[in-house]
């Protein structure tokens, strides 16, 4: 059963660090919101009605034609998972934190490589998501588009000629599309240029958020840049705008790193190797500290100050050091302190040979 | 009271921390507070997007109804959700709420997106007319280009295609 594999294995395709620009653009995600016609949005549904929606989606995703086009998709009820396993899906960025509130009436659809996931009965009946390594928004949209076309063959979507796809929240209406790129921007952070960049983003209809979406803090210099407007622009326009801006931010980050390499190499090198030393030797590590150190290490790798540590490992560790995954591996509940000790041990083991 | 850190600006952020039963108080100005903001403790109250929307919608409905109860106002004739609940949650009840509350929703959409017209993907099966309209739009653009290129052979072809599509659209059917 793929879902068990998904929660047992910390690895996901997007972590492979093999996409374009993956040194700075960790991952690209496109998500579209869809609702079934004639059925109230999830927040108004009682449990029986919510199950009807899940049933309709199950029939649609198990369609043989769809499998041929878009790969085998499997639907699982969130109630079939333990709380820790549900959290692991959030940590792997396959579902949103909102999906695990009131999980009794919700479901998730996954393709076995975890590139495609569909949240059922989150804020909208369906949220179809595609997650890829590096800067690949066009590719992600193409995949989503295929899945969406396939699903639409058996489901009637709530759609209006004027307003497009109708969504529970008016901020998503139209294309229902939210495209985002997760960027690692430690260089701009070091030279205190980040605030300026992030402010400018707001002025061109985009928004920057922390690692886990809405309302979360930027952990480990990671920022999600996404579109805000969903109505009045085509999907292709949204994606090409976002890609253009992201490319600019990437080139600014690169220029900053070059300047740092030229003028402040000792300073950066010191930070990178301190981070390396702590990760290799520490006995207590909070996830915030670990994320910060990973960020410095990643910068060192990308600036060729340090070698032998694959970016893929860092991507995976970002998930493996989260509380849920630690508890899963340990097989027991742990206090925050016990987790910090366990986390440090896990990281020491990974870094032993590096 | 002045900020404990810079001693220059008035302290407007007051933080009480209790660690292992030991209580400590810190008084900071906003600038210093932002600089030393400890991990996990947000000074800035998190404003949820839905609250914002509810605020905007409230505005659309003419401010005074601010504190109206969830059960008040018109109800969507399809899903029965009352206006008051939409205001409170910032979420509509169903697809039919959009036309039902149109006079309030359209100005809101203009504010959020700067537009009230979808130009993106149209679902193949349920999209019907909208899909045709979009296709006609694209062909008309091609036609303009062909004319400006003085490629009249292609222009004629495109014109015929447009006529064909317009005809099937007027008949209300699909191609």
Tell me: the pLDDT tens digits for B110-131?
Answer: 999 999 999 999 998 776 666 7
Give the whole-angstrom CA distance, residue A30 versus residue A227: 10
Looking at residue A1, its pLDDT comes to 55
Question: Which residue carries 């340990």 as its tokens?
Answer: A330
CA count, 13 A, side-chain hemisphere, A80: 10
Looking at residue B51, its pLDDT comes to 66
Give the whole-angstrom CA distance, residue B127 versus residue A136: 28
Q: What are phi and psi of A348, to 5 degrees?
A: -55, -45
Cβ neighbors of A290 (< 8 A, separation 6 or more) are A279, A317, A321, A343, A347
Does B96 score more than 70 pLDDT? yes
Looking at residue A94, its pLDDT comes to 94
Segment A239-249 mean pLDDT: 95
Distant-in-sequence contacts of A349-352, Cβ < 8 A, 24+ apart: A350/A313, A350/A317, A351/A276, A351/A279, A351/A280, A352/A280
CB-nearest partner of A235 from B81, B117, B121: B121
More confident residue, B17 or B88: B88
CA count, 13 A, side-chain hemisphere, B64: 0
Interface confidence, given as ipTM, is 0.87
Q: Give A6 to chain B, closest Cα distance, Å.
A: 28
Looking at residue B174, its pLDDT comes to 43
Q: Does B118 touch chain A (CB under 8 A)?
A: yes
Q: Give B121 to chain A, closest Cα distance, Å.
A: 7
Q: Which chain A residues are within 8 Å of B53, Cβ to Cβ?
A: 169-171
Q: Does A101 touch chain B (CB under 8 A)?
A: no
Give the whole-angstrom CA distance, residue A317 versus residue A298: 12
Looking at residue A229, its pLDDT comes to 94
Looking at residue B67, its pLDDT comes to 53
Q: Give A144 to chain B, closest Cα distance, Å.
A: 12
Nearest to A140 by CA among A248, A35, A14: A14
Categorize the per-residue pLDDT at A325 as very low, low, confident or very high, splitting at 50, 70 and 90: very high
Q: Does A212 touch chain B (CB under 8 A)?
A: no
Q: Give A4 to chain B, closest Cα distance, Å.
A: 31
Q: Which chain A residues are within 8 Å of B95, Cβ to Cβ?
A: 35, 37-38, 158-160, 166
CB-nearest partner of A152 from B78, B124, B130: B124
- Are residues B98 and A173, on separate chains, in Cβ contact within 8 Å? yes
Report the residue of A65, A167, A173 to disrupt the B interface, i.e. the one with the largest count of B CBs within 10 Å.
A173
- Are B142 and A175 in contact, with CB atoms under 8 Å apart? no
Looking at residue B88, its pLDDT comes to 84
pLDDT tens per residue, range B23-80: 777 788 777 776 665 433 444 444 566 666 677 766 665 554 455 567 778 899 999 9
Cβ neighbors of B133 (< 8 A, separation 6 or more) are A161, B169
Q: Does B112 touch chain A (CB under 8 A)?
A: yes
Cβ neighbors of A76 (< 8 A, separation 6 or more) are A3, A107, A108, A109, A110
Q: Find the closest chain B residue to A161 by CA distance.
A: B130
Q: Which chain B residues are within 8 Å of A238, Cβ to Cβ?
A: 120
Does A3 score more than 90 pLDDT? no
Looking at residue A262, its pLDDT comes to 95
- Are residues B112 and A288, on separate chains, in Cβ contact within 8 Å? no
Looking at residue B173, its pLDDT comes to 47
Does B175 score more than 50 pLDDT? no
* Least confident stretch, A144-148, A169-173, B43-47: B43-47
* Least confident stretch, A203-217, A266-280, B110-124: A203-217
More confident residue, A97 or A126: A126
Q: Give B134 to chain A, closest Cα distance, Å.
A: 10
Does A330 score more than 80 pLDDT? yes
- Give the number of other CB atoms < 10 A from CB of residue A332: 8
- Are residues B113 and A38, on separate chains, in Cβ contact within 8 Å? no
Q: Does B6 touch chain A (CB under 8 A)?
A: no
More confident residue, B3 or A174: A174
Q: Is the dihedral of CA A13, A18, A24, A25 positive or negative?
A: negative
Q: What is the percent of chain A with per-residue pLDDT over 70, rounded to a whole number?
A: 97
Indicate the average pLDDT of chain A. Answer: 92
Does A282 score more than 90 pLDDT? yes
Report pTM: 0.81
Indicate the average pLDDT of chain B. Answer: 77
Report the residue of B46, B121, B134 to disrupt the A interface, i.e. the one with the largest count of A CBs within 10 Å.
B121
Does B167 score more than 50 pLDDT? yes
Looking at residue B46, its pLDDT comes to 45
Between positions 139 and 168 of A, the ones with CB within 8 A of B are 145, 148-149, 152-153, 156-166, 168
Q: Give A1 to chain B, closest Cα distance, Å.
A: 32
Looking at residue A258, its pLDDT comes to 95
Looking at residue B70, its pLDDT comes to 72
Report the residue of A157, A161, A178 to disrupt the B interface, i.e. the one with the largest count of B CBs within 10 Å.
A161
Give the whole-angstrom CA distance, residue A273 versus residue A346: 19
Between positions 61 and 90 of A, the ones with CB within 8 A of B are none
């Amino acid at each position: 059963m793929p879902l068990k594999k998904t929660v047992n294995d910390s690895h996901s395709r997007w972590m492979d660090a093999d996409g374009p620009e993956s040194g700075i653009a960790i991952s690209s995600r496109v998500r579209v919101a869809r609702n079934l016609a004639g059925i109230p949005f999830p927040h108004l549904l009682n449990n029986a009605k919510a199950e009807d929606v899940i049933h309709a989606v199950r029939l649609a995703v198990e369609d043989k034609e769809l499998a041929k086009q878009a790969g085998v998709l499997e639907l699982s009820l969130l109630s079939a998972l333990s709380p820790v396993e549900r959290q692991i899906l959030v940590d792997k960025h396959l579902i949103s934190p909102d999906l695990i509130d009131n999980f009794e009436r919700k479901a998730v659809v996954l393709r076995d490589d975890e590139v495609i996931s569909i949240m059922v009965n989150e804020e909208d009946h369906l949220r179809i998501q595609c997650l890829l390594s590096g800067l690949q928004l066009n590719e992600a949209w193409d995949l989503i588009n295929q899945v969406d076309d396939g699903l639409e063959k058996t489901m009637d979507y709530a759609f209006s000629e004027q307003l497009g796809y109708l969504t529970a929240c008016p901020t998503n209406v139209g294309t229902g599309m939210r495209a985002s790129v997760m960027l690692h921007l430690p260089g701009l952070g070091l030279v205190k240029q980040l605030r300026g960049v992030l402010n400018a983003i707001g002025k061109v209809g985009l928004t920057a958020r922390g690692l886990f979406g809405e309302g979360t803090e930027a952990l480990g210099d990671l920022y999600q840049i996404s579109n805000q407007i969903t109505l009045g622009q085509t999907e292709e326009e949204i994606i090409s705008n976002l890609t253009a801006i992201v490319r600019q931010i990437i080139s600014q980050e690169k220029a900053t790193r070059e300047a740092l390499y030229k003028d402040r190499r000792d300073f950066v090198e010191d930070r990178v190797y301190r981070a390396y030393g702590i990760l290799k030797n520490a006995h207590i590590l909070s996830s915030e500290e670990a994320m910060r150190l990973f960020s410095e290490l990643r910068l060192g790798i990308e600036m060729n100050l340090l070698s032998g540590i694959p970016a893929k490992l860092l991507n995976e560790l970002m998930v493996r050091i989260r509380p849920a995954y630690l508890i899963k591996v340990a097989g027991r509940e742990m206090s925050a302190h016990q987790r910090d000790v366990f986390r440090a041990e896990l990281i020491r083991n990974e870094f032993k040979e590096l | 009271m002045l900020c404990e850190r810079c001693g220059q600006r008035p302290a407007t952020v007051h933080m009480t921390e209790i660690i292992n039963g030991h209580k400590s108080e810190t008084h900071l100005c906003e600038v210093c507070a932002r600089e030393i903001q400890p991990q996990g403790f947000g000074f800035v109250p998190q404003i949820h997007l839905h609250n914002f929307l509810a605020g905007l919608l409230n505005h659309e409905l003419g401010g005074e109804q601010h504190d109206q109860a969830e059960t008040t106002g018109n109800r969507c004739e399809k899903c029965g959700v009352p206006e008051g609940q939409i205001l409170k949650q910032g979420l509509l009840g169903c697809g039919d709420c959009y036309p039902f509350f149109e006079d309030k929703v359209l100005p809101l959409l203009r504010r959020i997106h700067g537009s009230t017209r979808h130009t993106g993907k149209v679902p193949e099966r349920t999209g019907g007319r909208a899909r045709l309209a979009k296709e006609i739009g694209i062909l008309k653009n091609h036609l303009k280009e062909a004319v400006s290129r003085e490629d009249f052979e292609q222009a004629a072809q495109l014109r015929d295609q447009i006529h064909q599509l317009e005809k099937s659209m007027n008949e209300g059917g699909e191609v």
